[in-house]
Amino acid sequence: MEIEKTIIGAIFLAIGLVYAGFPGLQVKSQVWWFRRVLGAELIPSQKTFLVYRLFGVVCLVFGLALLLGTKF
């Protein structure tokens, strides 16, 4: 059970680092998806970047808690 917790913690940590550190990557991919695949126009606001950063911080905290061995 310990190795699974470590793997999932590392995955959450990686996702959290990408979302918290580089929210522009997700916004660019979301804009591309809306334009190319759905054929719609999307203009992201500053709130979008904030939501991505907050999601990244939550993933970071959860991933660190799993890696450091906190009991859930």
45 domain residue, yes or no: yes
CB 51 within 8 A of CB 58: no
Residue range(s) defining the domain that contains residue 23:
2-67
Domain count, the chain: 1
70 has pLDDT over 80: no
72 has pLDDT over 80: no
16 domain residue, yes or no: yes
72 domain residue, yes or no: no
pTM listed for this prediction: 0.80
15-55 tens-digit pLDDT: 999 999 999 998 999 899 999 988 888 888 989 999 999 99
Q: Print the SS3 string covering 17-68.
A: HHHHHCHHHHHHHHHHHHHHHCCCCCCCCHHHHHHHHHHHHHHHHHHHHHHC
Residue 31: CB atoms within 10 Å: 15
15 domain residue, yes or no: yes
63 domain residue, yes or no: yes
